[in-house]
Structure 1
Amino acid sequence: MTSPFVYDIHLPSNIGSGKKYPVVFALHGIGYNEQHMLALVEDLKEDFILIGIRGHLTHENGYAYYYLKGYGNPERELFDDSVEKLKNFIDYVSNQYPIDPERKYLIGFSQGAILSMTLALILGDTIKGIVPMNGYIPSFVKEEYPLKSIARMSVFLCQGESDPIFPLNIGQENYDYLHEHAGSVKYTIYPSAHEISLNNQRDLITWLHEDSLSCGEKKKSSSLASHDH
């Protein structure tokens, strides 16, 4: 199988034989590209495998994963196709690189946030955590897609206070839904518009580090416990 997407991957420079690493799959907004998202998480490059996924459709000076009829109204066929392609892509790279299957993270901005939440709901607890920034969950995803449990998933939900595209009530709807279903949800509103602020970037780096480390510690303690018996 070949990759359904163009992507850029950064592996830790001192990658160890037999060692598995947490991974960040980064999804950009419409009109952007994979480098926009990879730049946000560059500080994680020695501890994580970082994968920026470029949308397969062109849009203005960048790319998109699907087109819109209007805000909040994706072209459904393109949306469904993109979700299927992204599922296949995650499978594909998970078998190509030394990725820890228990520490897969999705981060996304705008269109990427919409897709990261959608993928989380259909892939369930095979995803460890997500960082959706300024997006929403389409109603047809909640109503028509085959959803899986996210009871063990960690979520860091981010929202711009004065986002003209996805206002605060959308952020609250995201929080209410995810809080009901996910294992843990941190929700932060930033004094920004439809953008990723420096504070947001700093917080997402910290959150990914801490969540990944706590997951690693739990794995160690559970394997020690199993050796004790």
Structure 2
Amino acid sequence: MCDQLEPVQANLHHELIAPRTRADACPTLVLLHGRGDSAAGILPLAYEFERDDLLVISVQAPLELGGVMAGGYEWYRLQQPRSLNEATLRTSLDALAEFLDTVKASYPVDPERVVLLGFSQGAVMSLGAQALRPPSVAGVIALSGYFPIEIESDAGNLVGAPAFVAHGVYDDVIPVEAGRRTRDLLERHGVDLTYREYPMAHSVSVEEMADTRDWLSWLLDNDGP
């Protein structure tokens, strides 16, 4: 039952919030944090989704940071030229795919209703995961991120995939132009896309979370906006 869960052994550290209602196959939201954060750091975002039936799994990136960002984690290295990032990006995408297989085999999830939600670098991972292993999840929520150019040749796999992509117009970490390029790329490749911009910086807002909740309800229940 979904309300009686203990974390299983997996290739990536993760934390759980079990749903409040009993079910043998739960809709599942997988949270992917941004660079410098952790599974515990993004987990409170789960409380923005007012669903009694939702299993939330927050996943921690495999690469530990040091220096002023000690205690934080990243999904892939940020190096110049950007081509140097591809190896760690693909390694982490493979690790995430393995993790999702473990989740579907080990937890009482509904495999047809698993949704990825990523913020910043986690948004990059969510879009990349759906492109490399379609249809691994039911949909993707990508907040303040972008589609990774390192795997743009795989974007054609996204045809018909549902995605909610949002960005802050005042984002000074990942400029909104990156979000708009992602919007254009996803539209070219036939993604079932909802794109939104908000008057905010590199963060989330009340309005954005309300729209995200509505989109998730539409995806899981077909009763959204």
Question: TM-score of the superposition, structure 1-length normalised?
Answer: 0.83
Task: Select between 203-212 and 36-45 the one with higher mean Cα deviation.
Answer: 36-45
- The one of 154, 159, 182 equivalent to 1:151 is 159
Pick the structure with greater CA Rg: 1
2:45 is aligned, of 33, 37, 40, to 40
Alpha-carbon separation, structure 2, partners of 1:39 and 1:99: 20
In the alignment, structure 1 residue 20 sits paired with structure 2 residue 25:
yes
Deviation, structure 1 residue 139? 1.8
Is 1:120 the counterpart of 2:130? The answer is yes
CA distance in 2, matches of 1:191, 1:135: 16
Equivalent in the alignment of 1:227: none
The Cα shift of 1:5 comes to 0.8
Task: Pick from 77, 81, 84 the counterpart of residue 87 of structure 2.
Answer: 77
Offset, 1:8: 0.5
Secondary structure at 1:68 match in 2:
coil
Q: What does the per-residue CA deviation read over 1:39-66, in whole Å, with 9 as the maximum and x for residues that have no partner?
A: 1122345221110001122221321122
The amino acid that maps onto 2:102 is Y
State the Cα distance separating 1:211 from its structure 2 match.
1.4
CA distance in 2 between counterparts of 1:137 and 1:40 reads 22
In the alignment of these two chains, the number of paired residues is 211
User: How far off its partner does 1:94 sit?
Assistant: 0.7
Alignment of structure 1 residues 67-106 onto 2, 5 Å: 67-70=77-80, 75-106=85-116
Contact 2:16 / 2:56 at 8 angstroms: preserved in 1?
A: yes
Q: Does 1:50 align with 2:52?
A: no
| Alpha-carbon contact 1:155-1:182 (below 8 Å) kept | no
What corresponds to 1:3 in structure 2? 10
**RMSD, aligned CA:** 2.2
Q: Distance in 1 between matches of 2:156 and 2:27?
A: 22
Opposite residue 22 of structure 1, the aligned amino acid is P
Is residue 41–residue 205 contact of structure 1 (8 Å, CA) maintained in 2? no
**8 Å contact kept, 1:107–1:132:** yes
The CA deviation string for residues 137-183 of structure 1, in whole angstroms up to 9 with x for no partner, is 2222013x5x6633332111001101123222211111111123344
Q: In the superposition, relative to structure 1, how do residues 72 and 130 fare at CA in structure 2: closer, same or farther (>3 Å)? A: farther
In structure 2, which of residues 57, 75, 98 is the aligned counterpart of residue 65 of structure 1?
75
Is the aligned partner of 1:134 residue 2:140?
Answer: no
3-state SS of 1:39 partner: helix
Change (3 A) 1:71 1:172: farther
Correspondences of 1:192-211 after superposition (within 5 Å): 192-211=200-219
Verify the 8 A CA contact 2:22 2:53 in the aligned structure 1: no
Ranges in structure 1 where 5+ consecutive residues have no aligned partner: 216-229
SS of 1:116 mapped into structure 2: helix
Q: Is the 8 A contact 1:130 1:156 kept in 2?
A: yes
State the identity %: 26
Contact kept in structure 1, 2:20 and 2:53, CA below 8 Å: no
How far has the Cα of 1:196 moved from its partner? 1.4
Task: Return closer, same or farther for 1:20/1:188 CA change in 2, 3 Å cut-off.
Answer: same
Aligned partners of 2:162 and 2:193 also within 8 Å: yes
